Amino acid sequence: MSTLTEHSTQGRTARAGRVVLQEDVVTHAGARYALAVGRVVIGWVFLWAFVDKLFGLGYSTPAERAWLNGGAPAQGYIGAAEGPFAGFFQSVFQNPFGDWLFMIGLLGIGLAMVLGIGLRLAAVTGTLLMVFMWMTQIPWVLGGTNPITTSHWVEAMLLVIAAFTLAGDTFGLGKRWARVVGDSWLR
């Protein structure tokens, strides 16, 4: 019998005197590896979007529309927004501030997920970004292959799952980061 007592921390079991680790939340090693790979993959999606928009590598952003060449990465998407919220998003985000916010968001969410640190903050901000993007193209108003869900929902859920399962602890810097921030919202 261990001399350390166990207690519940926000619905998770951990040994007294230390932060909650992924092993406390996800007990199967295979599941931890799968969650880590999912975290890195979704992080790469955000990080790649940032890099392509910054340099205009020709995948979704041609070189002449690169942010470094004076392009406006968020304004093209916002300008094409349709549906009941299009006017709101165009009035608030179709400007250089919107571009900066969008690019900082892509970079921050991507780095957090790839490195495995700050997953809770990345999950909240990334989910908010995905909700905003979904609201600019609401499928039940504009049509689509599904009247409610889009890939934005999948991306948001991968962010949330990574944060709740502490997926940054496996193949990431999550354990080291936890020594600095504990079980705070920065975890």
Whether residue 138 lies inside any domain: the answer is yes
Q: What is the pLDDT of residues 112-126, one digit of tens each?
A: 999 999 999 999 999
Number of residues that make up the chain: 187
pLDDT at 144: 84
- pTM of the full predicted structure? 0.88
109, part of any domain: yes
Range of the structural domain that residue 112 is part of = 30-181
Low-confidence ranges of the chain (pLDDT < 50): 1-14
Residue with tokens 């919107």: 98
Residue 24 resides in a domain: no
Residue 148 falls inside a structural domain? yes
Q: Using CA atoms, how far apart are residues 162 and 86, in angstroms rounded to an integer?
A: 30
Q: What is the pLDDT of residue 13?
A: 44
Decide if 186 is inside a domain. no
Does any domain span residue 11?
no
**pLDDT digits 0-9 by tens, 9-26:** 444 444 556 899 999 999
Is 168 part of any domain?
yes
With respect to residue 14, please indicate whether it lies within any of the assigned structural domains: no
Q: How many domains does the chain have?
A: 1
pLDDT of residue 17: 64
For the chain, give the mean pLDDT: 90
